[in-house]
A and B are shown apart, each in its own frame.
Chain A
Amino acid sequence: MGLTGIFLILFLVVHVGLNACIFATIFNEDDHGQMFNKAAHFMGSNWVPRLLEIGLFVGIFLHIIQGLMLEFQNRGKRSVKYEVSFGNRGSKWYSRSMGLLGTILLIFFIIHWKQFWIPSRFTGVEETTIDGKQMHDLFSLMKETFAEPWVVIVYVLACISLAYHLLHGFQSAFRTIGVRNNRYLKLVNGLGVGFSIIVPLLFALMPVSMYFGWVN
């Protein structure tokens, strides 16, 4: 759980970094999503990211299987429930809801793959030419997809789930691999809170800013 979780955190860093290229349009009037398209093209045409992608699928798959098994096995360990529950007095609600938050993320991933990954790999995306090279115009696909209000809402909700999943998961993963030194735990906690806010916020800003036309 801890190892696959940390692996997925690393993946998020790459993913958010790459997608943040859409914001280049804010700083450069003439960009029109070229920087993002070039970055995405590099990821799709080079064998290193392709290899990492296989690793990513294995990682996500393992994490989901482990996560769901963990959740259901643990639920089976107390057949008679308490009349009065301990509730939020001893732990945070999101720490106790990792299975639920993860399942929301899983449902989101399925929608997300259908919207972007499958077209880009299999069914095809409109092409554009940048610097004389033909490539997928994923930027325009994003603009089209995020013109629908319901899509934007689903993405923002998924980002909120991700934020809470990470708020617990980030520090928990390091405890799981044995980090206990006070100084490092403080560092991990601080990094974890920062990461859990900044990364989902950046992700959420993408559909939102496309919807409102801040990115063009």
Chain B
Amino acid sequence: MEHYTMNLKLKVWRQKNAKSSGGFESYDVSNISSEMSFLEMFDVLNERLIREGKEPIAFDHDCREGICGMCSMYINGKAHGPWQGTTTCQLHMRAFKDGDTIVVEPWRANAFPVIKDLMVDRTAFDRIIQAGGYISVNTGNAVDANAIPIEKDKADSSFAAAACIGCGACVAACKNSSAMLFVSAKVSHLALLPQGAPERKTRVLDMIAQMDKEGFGSCTNTGACEAVCPKEISLTNIARLNGEYLTAGLTVDK
């Protein structure tokens, strides 16, 4: 692809802290290379703001290669921006053209309160994982990887679900602010494997209970989550979660 530079107008959400109300601010950025990543464009803008003695824009990021799930930006109405199956950090400026206006907002959900500017508090996800995202194994030497036979299809489905990086885009995109795609990925990942069998029933009940406690909405299968998920986690996982939840609810011994 041909290299080009562009001038853009950014409309970015600025908010001092969790308590203040916040609002949009516009910035003109010039000479942006089509080879830059979206976050590098923010770096360029932030360095300018620092030079001008202004407060830089706070945004979350860590790996910048699509594996940590930190970079949460809602770009022109779509979580993680216009590309399919990519995180914000993997989005490149060649997705835009000279003169574009780009609106950047934080994830919006009451369960993900804004900390500052584009950063939101996603520790609700950590607490959901703590509620059931573990397995029981014997201590001692690690078991040989081939010691437990696992059906190929199940291993593949489990692996696909385990690809979830906990970024929260599913919640951000959902009209109900539901976390079901995330929870379904975490539950499916373990429910499909023999290692997950001991806590299979309590896991799904505990994780759903924690999800509700954190204030996420209820799923109505609209499919917006699947459309933005950078790891392309399938909606089928939600149906599996519903099945696991029903069976566990009816048969658990407590």
Contact = CB atoms under 8 A, between A and B. Distances in A.
A43 B111 CA distance: 50
B240 A178 contact: yes
Contact of A177 (B110, B177, B224, B246): B246
B6 interface: no
A174 B240 CA distance: 11
Interface string B212-254: 0001111011111111100000011011101110110000000
B179 to A, nearest CB: 10
A81 interface: yes
Contact of B177 (A78, A98, A179): A78
Q: How large is the interface on B (under 10, 10 to 19, 20 to 34, 35 or more residues)?
A: 35 or more
B239 A178 contact: yes
Contacts of B242: 175-178
Given A77-B177, A81-B108, A95 B243 contact: no
A83 B106 CA distance: 11
Interface string A85-114: 111011110011010000000000000000
Interface residues of A, number: 34
A80 B224 CA distance: 19
A98 B238 CA distance: 19
Interface of B: 11, 13, 24, 74, 76-79, 103, 105, 108-111, 173, 175-178, 215-218, 220-228, 235-236, 238-240, 242-244, 246-247
Give 4 closest A-B pairs by Cβ, nearest first. Answer: A178-B243, A90-B227, A84-B77, A180-B239
